[in-house]
Amino acid sequence: MAVPIIPLAAGIALILFTIYKFIIFPAFISPLARIPNAHWTAPFSPFWILFHRQQQNDTTTIHQAHGRLGPVIRLAPNEISVNSVDGGIRTIYAGGFEKGNWYSNVFSNYGVEPMFAMEGHNEHSKRKRMLSNVYAKSTLQSSQALSKQTDILLRERLHQRLKAEADSGKTIELYDIFSAVTMDFVSGYVFGLKNNSDHIRRKEEGIQLFQEFKARQKYTFWPQEMAGFTNFMKRLGLKWLLVPTWVDKANQDLENWLMSMCDKAESTLKASESGEEVAIEDYPNVYAQLRNTLLKDAMKSEKTDVNVPIQQQVENLRLQIASELLDHTLAGFDTSGITLSWLAWQLSRPDHQNWQRKLQEEIKTLNGSLDAKAIDNLPTLHAILMETLRLHAAIPGNQPRMTPSTPTTLGDTESGITFASLPPNTRVQAQAWSLHRNPKVFPNPDSWHPDRWIDSDPQIQREMSRWFWAFGSGGRMCVGSNLAVLDMKATVVGLWGSFSTEILDDEGMVPNSGYMAEPLGVGSGGKKGIGRDRRFLRCKLTEVEKTG
């Protein structure tokens, strides 16, 4: 029986087209075909890199590939990773490359995108201008409110908790301590001290929120990297096979918790605006700045009815405000808590006791002061923090961007390894983990050497600063980096100015190898969860001579 010619030809054509589109073109003809493949399947499928992201070991896997193959590698048919400054992060992150939906799929709150998740450059820049002044270094160092908050949080609340736990003879879980302190710092400055989390004193509440927050992070892979498939499973009523139902409840609990602080901050602000006296430490600095600027912007809009009462206008902006500030609060406490935990681990190790003693001697020169400028000028403290941020960046993983419609060249201009005419909408990324481990810039890159930030000559210092990427770079650099550095330095002064630390159990201080680098911990739950008996960094604290 004769085979119909037209269906046969159509079938052959379809097979040939499929081979060309999914094998020949990506492997041999695409501009990306010239880039070394991190894995042999990279030109044909994203499965290899998706597997490692789901396993949360993609950061170290990509770093190893860069070590073998050079500054530019191909991770998937439409994705590359770059590990260079000139021709790399300067081009991508200072050149207006836009974010894709990778961010909005996970970092949106209340169904509203915060600044961090905004894809477009213009909307992001507009929001950042609203907030940049309240987070400026000069503003923070001269803020009487923040100075008062720092004094209360460290001299009173933190010192009392540490002394009580040290006197009890129990081991102290420092990861829990630092998470509580950084949460109180950030939420205090954002919402006012009387409206903040108060987790230093509310120990159990703080631990519970910390556990819920960290446990849910393990399931962000599916909506972030496999959004289409996740939505398909949701329509089938099977999303629970990917993301447990308790994750949605945990997200809702976090949103409700943050909204309650917004509501309390609004009440404080209304009281202040009506002439009531509000203690300086209780004023909601960031909330007020964002709320008033958004309100002013809304009143300029032609869509806004000027006859609507101001309070109704504020209510209309409620979700925008809450979404933005939830992002600031969670990101601020999480990254700083992780960094301080690694800093404490390094300082408390037997082979680094000399650095702990040197730090304590330097803290004594403050004569008990917690002045932000004086603390910021301590060279040993600065070196210890910078080296910890370099070696243990809280977010060492990929920061994706999309190539623009114009022809793009990426690579390492210093070595001459570059690739031109990269197609539009290619996912490109860099990661702090690899940038911070360039042996030409950071000799012995896997070792903790704070002295590199003190003893190096100015030219080497400048080169290290160029490759330092703990807070990102360009217009989308972390807006709260100055507050993070200030509260971390102040916390170090508050703790090691009064106590010495000695490691009793650090078995759990193994870093996650994915987007975040928090210590994984050991004990209940394993890598799949966080339990109340989880162990990270347990130390013995010994009170030292008062510094003033």
Q: Which residues are annotated as a binding site?
A: 478
Measured CA to CA, the distance from residue 172 to residue 161 in angstroms comes to 10
Structure tokens at 164: 């009580």
Which H/E stretch holds residue 74? strand 72-76
Measured CA to CA, the distance from residue 547 to residue 534 in angstroms comes to 34
Compute the radius of gyration of the chain from its Cα atoms. 25
Measured CA to CA, the distance from residue 530 to residue 212 in angstroms comes to 8
- DSSP-based helix, strand, coil % in the chain, nearest 5: 60, 10, 30
Task: Identify whether the C-beta of residue 239 lies closer than 8 Å to the C-beta of residue 208.
Answer: no
Measured CA to CA, the distance from residue 546 to residue 497 in angstroms comes to 8
Task: Identify whether the C-beta of residue 500 lies closer than 8 Å to the C-beta of residue 349.
Answer: no
DSSP readout, 120-133? Answer: SHHHHHHHHHHHTT
Task: Identify whether the C-beta of residue 439 lies closer than 8 Å to the C-beta of residue 452.
Answer: no
Task: Identify whether the C-beta of residue 501 lies closer than 8 Å to the C-beta of residue 346.
Answer: no
Measured CA to CA, the distance from residue 326 to residue 105 in angstroms comes to 16
CB-CB neighbours of 370 under 10 Å? 17
Task: Identify whether the C-beta of residue 162 lies closer than 8 Å to the C-beta of residue 177.
Answer: yes
Structure tokens at 77: 């048919």
Cα-Cα end-to-end distance for the chain:
101
Strands ordered across the beta sheet of 538-543: 172-173, 538-543, 499-505
Cβ neighbors of 179 (< 8 A, separation 6 or more) are 199, 206, 210, 333, 334, 337
Of 210, 222, 231, nearest in space to 330 by CA:
210
- Which neighbouring-strand residues pair with 164? none
Cβ neighbors of 373 (< 8 A, separation 6 or more) are 141
Task: Identify whether the C-beta of residue 329 lies closer than 8 Å to the C-beta of residue 258.
Answer: yes
Measured CA to CA, the distance from residue 477 to residue 488 in angstroms comes to 18
Q: Which residues are annotated as a binding site for heme?
A: 478
List helix spans (H) across 301-431.
Answer: 310-316, 318-348, 353-364, 372-376, 379-391
Cβ neighbors of 17 (< 8 A, separation 6 or more) are none
Of 211, 60, 101, nearest in space to 514 by CA:
60
**Residue 534 phi, psi (nearest 5):** -65, 140
Task: Identify whether the C-beta of residue 541 lies closer than 8 Å to the C-beta of residue 165.
Answer: yes
3 state SS of 417: strand
